[in-house]
Each structure stands twice: as structure tokens, then as C-alpha cells.
């Protein structure tokens, strides 16, 4: 089967994940810890807050760079 035929055949099927040691370990940890929905919500919120913090850092940097005074000196030319 050619690569194009394989791609076309896969297009009709839902995406699957390849075997990955890290993913398997994560799934095992989730199963054994049996985390409650409240814990999942807490970690989801913490990820959101972390990203908001990164956004604040970026916004601050953009603001500081935007108001930087012009470099160099103006010279009057006769």
C-alpha cells in the first residue's frame, strides 16, 4: 500500500494514540490515585492561573517596550 493510500485509509478512522511510555505511566498513575473531580478542577484552575501569569508578564513587557523613548539624538541640519 502506498503512503497516499495509507493516509486516505486513516482519514476515515478516528485518531488513535501511539504507544508511549510516558502516556502509559500517566494513565497508570491516574488509575491508581483515583483523583476526585474536585482535584481535577483544582489542577485545571491552577493551569489557567499559571497561563494568566505568563500573559501578564508578556503584557508588561510589551507595555514597557512600547513606551521606550526614542534612541539617538535629533540633529538640526542647515
67 pLDDT above the threshold of 90: no
What range defines the domain where residue 34 resides?
Answer: 20-65
- Residue 14 included in any domain: no
Judge whether 2 lies within some domain: no
Q: Is residue 77 part of a domain?
A: no
**DSSP code of residue 12:** T
Does the pTM surpass 0.75? The reply is no
Residue 71 lies in a domain: no
Residue 49 lies in a domain: yes
| More confident: 72 or 56 | 56
Place of cell 505568563: 54
The tens digit of pLDDT for each residue in 24-47 reads 887 787 788 877 888 878 888 898
Amino acid at each position: 500500500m502506498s503512503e497516499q493510500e495509507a493516509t486516505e485509509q486513516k482519514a476515515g478512522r478516528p485518531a488513535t494514540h501511539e504507544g508511549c511510555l510516558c502516556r502509559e505511566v500517566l494513565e497508570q498513575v491516574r488509575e491508581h490515585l483515583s483523583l476526585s473531580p474536585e482535584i481535577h478542577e483544582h489542577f485545571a484552575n491552577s493551569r489557567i492561573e499559571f497561563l494568566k501569569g505568563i500573559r501578564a508578564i508578556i503584557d508588561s513587557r510589551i507595555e514597557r517596550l512600547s513606551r521606550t523613548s526614542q534612541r539617538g539624538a535629533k540633529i538640526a541640519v542647515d
